[in-house]
Chains A and B, each alone.
Chain A
Amino acid sequence: MSEPAQGGRAFVFGDDIDTDLLAPGAYMKSSPDELASHCLEALDPDFARTVRPGDVVVGGRNFGLGSSREQAAVSLVRLGVSAVLAASFARIFWRNAMNLGLPALTLEPADLARIGQGDRLAVAAEAGEVRNLTRGEVYATAPVPPHLMAMIRDGGLIPHLKRRFASAAKEPRAPASGVAA
C-alpha cells in the first residue's frame, strides 16, 4: 500500500453501510469488475464511475455490517480505494478488508465528522495517522495489531501465508497463520 503523494479524495458515507450496499446480491454471480461497478450505487449512483485509485471511503459506525461476502471489500479494492475510515467496523468486513491488504482504520467520530466530501486525505496506516490536506488537519487512527500490519505490508493474507509457507519449507516449523500461539 503506497501513500498517494497528493492524497486521495474522500467519499463520505454515513453509518451502517452494509454489505448489500457494497456488493448487491443481484450482481453476486457477475465478474468482480461488474459487481464492483454497482458498489454503493443505491446510495450514490455515480460512486463506482467517479472513484479513482487512491481515493478513500469514509463511513460512520458499523461499516460493513451484514453478510460475510468478501466481495464487499473486493469491490472497493477493484475500484482502487486505498483505505476505509470509519468510527467502527463490523468484524467480518474488517477482517476481509485487512486480509485483502485494504487498510480499514478506526477514527474518533469527532475527527470523522470533520472530513468533507472530496477532501484530500493522505492515509499512513503504519504511522497511524490520516492527514487531511484540504483542511490542514491530522487525525490519529486506532492502532492496528502488529501481526495485521505485517500482513498488510505483504499485500494481504494469502501473500503473507505464501511467505510463511516458503520459510516453513526451509525451517522445521513456523506457525501457519497469524500470531504465534
Chain B
Amino acid sequence: MPEPATLVEKILARAAGRARVRPGELITVKVDLAYAHDSSGPRRWRPMLEALGTGLWDPEKVVLVSDHYVPAVDAESAEILKGVRAFVRDYGVGRFFDMEGIGHLVLPDHGLIQPGMVIAGGDSHTPMAGAFGTYAAGYGATDMAAIAATGETWLAAPRTLRVELEGELQPGVAAKDVMLSLCKRLGLDNAFAAVEYAGSVVARMSMPERMVLCNMAAELGAESGVVAPDAVTFAYLAERGRPVADEAAALALASDPGAEFAAVHRIDVSRLAPQIAAPHAPSNTDDVSAFEGVVIDQAYIGACVGAKIEDLRMAAEVLRGRRVAPGVRLLVAPASTRTTELASREGVLTTLLAAGAHLLPSGCGACAGYGAGVLAPGEVCISSTNRNFRGRMGAADAQVYLGSPYAVAAAAAAGRIVDPRAYLSAGRAAA
C-alpha cells in the first residue's frame, strides 16, 4: 500500500515523473496547459522568445486570451490587442479567445480544464482552475515565457492546508462570503501552500461556486486552490462536450485517508452572515452589520470571481422590482460574452437593466483598474471583485468594499451597505 498522499502531491508527482513528492521538495514538472492574457502574455513573451531563438514548446497546449484591455479604449490598448493577434499568427497558437471574456472563466467554459492537469497561467487568479482538481498556479511573464518555450518549470512542492466546510450556507450567503471570512481567518500570506477545499458544503457546491473558492486562494497568498474531482466536475465537463476520459483515475486523485496536511481548518458555515471586506485588503473583513450605512457612489458587478451567470442571477434576485438608489451607479460587466448571452436569454439582464444598471463589456474592466468603471478620488464603491488593494480600481484614495453579488446589488438599491438578506424574496415576504 503506497504512502498516503494529498491531492496536490499526487498531481505533482505524476507531472514530475516521481512516485512521490513531499512538501518543500524542489521538482521540475511538465506543464499540461499554459495560458496567458493580453497584459502579461505576448507583449512580454515575444522579446524573450526571440532572445532564446525559439518558438512554443507545443502550440496546442498554449492558450491565449484577450481580456484585460478589451475592448480597446485608446491607441495604446488597441496596440496591445493587435500585438496579441500578431503573436497568435506568428507563433501558431492553437487556441485564442479574443474578447470573449475573462480567461479564468472562458477556459473551463470550453471544457479545457481537465482533472489532474498541471496548469501554468500568466495571472494570479489561475488557481480558479483548481476547482477541477488541477494544480493551477500563477506565474509572472518571464516564468511564463520560459514555460511557453520549454513546457516545464521548477517549483518547491507546496504544503497543503485543508479547509473542510460543514453545515449549510444560509440564503443570501454565498461562496464569496466564505472566502472573505477565510481571508480574515487565515490571512493573506500563505505562500508556498495549496489550499484544498473539502467537506459536505463543497461536495454540494456547483462548479461555479467551487471556482470562487479556488479563485480566491490567490487572496490567501496560496499558490493553488483545489477541490477533488467528483460527479459534479464530470457533469460540468460532459455538458461542455469534453467528458473526462478516465473518471476512475480522476476520482483516485482525492487525498488519501491519513494524508498529511500542514493544517486542517474545520469550519461550520451555518451561522456565517454576509461578509464585507473594507478598504484596503480582502482580509479586512467583518459581518455586514459592521458596515451597514456606509454610503456608496458605485456598485460594481464584475470580474472572474463575481460576474459569472450565477452571480448575475444573485444580483437579479435582489433587484427584481427594485431601482438603483438615486445618486448611485450600478455597473455590470459580465465575465464573458456567453454570460451576457445567457443573462439576456434568461431575462436576468432585463431585470438588471430595468433596475437601472449600466451594462459594460465582458473583460477585466475596472477590476484591474484598466477598463471602464474606475473611481475618482474619495469615491466609495462596493464590488463583487476579489481584491481591494489601494488604488487598484482607480484613485489611490478611492474606497473599495468587497462583497457577494447579493451584497453589491442590495447596496446599489439602498444607496448604502445593507444586509442583503432583507432584500431577498424570503426577507421581502416577511417585511
Min CB distance, B338 to chain A, in Å? 25
Complex CA–CA separation, A92 to B52 (angstroms): 22
8 example contacts (A-B, Cβ-Cβ < 8 A) are as follows: A25-B369, A68-B126, A70-B141, A90-B221, A99-B140, A158-B142, A176-B149, A177-B150
Stretch at the interface among B187-195, B202-210, B265-273, B315-323: B187-195
A122 on the interface (CB 8 Å rule)? no
Contacting residues, chain A, for B93 (C-beta < 8 A): none
Cβ 8 A contact of A162, one of B51, B124, B141, B390: B51
B143 on the interface (CB 8 Å rule)? yes
Min CB distance, A22 to chain B, in Å? 10
Contact B27–A20 (Cβ < 8 Å): no
Min CB distance, A65 to chain B, in Å? 6
Cβ 8 A contact of B143, one of A30, A67, A96: A96
Contact A42–B52 (Cβ < 8 Å): no
Contact flags A36-71 to B (C-beta < 8 A → 1, else 0): 000000100000000000000000011001111110
Contact B40–A70 (Cβ < 8 Å): yes
Contacting residues, chain B, for A69 (C-beta < 8 A): 39-40, 140
Contacting residues, chain B, for A42 (C-beta < 8 A): 390-391, 396
Contact A177–B139 (Cβ < 8 Å): no
Contact A16–B188 (Cβ < 8 Å): yes
A window 61-93: CB within 8 A of B: 61-62, 65-70, 73, 88-93
A100 on the interface (CB 8 Å rule)? yes
Contact B124–A92 (Cβ < 8 Å): yes
Of all chain A residues, which has the CB nearest B281?
A16
Apart from A66-B387, A178-B152, A180-B28, list 7 A-B contacts with CB within 8 A: A26-B374, A29-B69, A92-B138, A157-B143, A158-B142, A179-B26, A181-B28
Contacting residues, chain B, for A25 (C-beta < 8 A): 368-370, 391-392
Contact B26–A147 (Cβ < 8 Å): yes
Known contacts A91-B223, A158-B52: A68-B139 contact under CB 8 Å: yes
B window 137-189: CB within 8 A of A: 138-143, 145-147, 149-154, 156, 188-189
Contact B191–A95 (Cβ < 8 Å): no
Cβ 8 A contact of B53, one of A29, A145, A165: A165
Complex CA–CA separation, A67 to B221 (angstroms): 10
Cβ 8 A contact of A165, one of B40, B52, B188: B52
A window 156-181: CB within 8 A of B: 156-158, 161-162, 165, 175-181
Contact B391–A181 (Cβ < 8 Å): no
Known contacts A20-B392, A178-B153: A66-B52 contact under CB 8 Å: no
Min CB distance, B198 to chain A, in Å? 23
B76 on the interface (CB 8 Å rule)? yes
Contact A92–B139 (Cβ < 8 Å): yes
Complex CA–CA separation, A97 to B147 (angstroms): 17
Contact B189–A95 (Cβ < 8 Å): no
Contacting residues, chain A, for B141 (C-beta < 8 A): 70, 96
Contact A176–B391 (Cβ < 8 Å): no
Contacting residues, chain A, for B77 (C-beta < 8 A): 29
Complex CA–CA separation, A177 to B52 (angstroms): 13
Contact B142–A96 (Cβ < 8 Å): yes
Contact B124–A157 (Cβ < 8 Å): no
Query: Considering only CB atoms and an 8 Å cut-off, how many residues of chain A contact the other chain?
Result: 47
Contact flags A94-113 to B (C-beta < 8 A → 1, else 0): 11100110000000000000
B394 on the interface (CB 8 Å rule)? yes
Complex CA–CA separation, A29 to B76 (angstroms): 7
Contact B124–A177 (Cβ < 8 Å): no
B54 on the interface (CB 8 Å rule)? yes
B123 on the interface (CB 8 Å rule)? yes
Contact B389–A28 (Cβ < 8 Å): no
Contact A95–B139 (Cβ < 8 Å): yes
A154 on the interface (CB 8 Å rule)? no
A21 on the interface (CB 8 Å rule)? yes
Contact B48–A147 (Cβ < 8 Å): no
A116 on the interface (CB 8 Å rule)? no
Contact flags A2-25 to B (C-beta < 8 A → 1, else 0): 000000000000001011110011
Contact B122–A181 (Cβ < 8 Å): no
B44 on the interface (CB 8 Å rule)? yes
Contacting residues, chain B, for A61 (C-beta < 8 A): 189
Contact A176–B390 (Cβ < 8 Å): no
Contacting residues, chain B, for A165 (C-beta < 8 A): 52-54
The 9 nearest A-B residue pairs measured at CB: A178-B154, A25-B369, A70-B140, A96-B140, A176-B150, A62-B189, A99-B142, A68-B124, A29-B76
Contacting residues, chain A, for B387 (C-beta < 8 A): 66
Min CB distance, B9 to chain A, in Å? 16
Contact A95–B28 (Cβ < 8 Å): no
B16 on the interface (CB 8 Å rule)? yes
Contact A178–B28 (Cβ < 8 Å): yes
B17 on the interface (CB 8 Å rule)? yes
Contact B51–A158 (Cβ < 8 Å): yes
Of all chain A residues, which has the CB nearest B69?
A29
Min CB distance, A102 to chain B, in Å? 11
Known contacts A89-B191, A162-B51: A179-B27 contact under CB 8 Å: yes
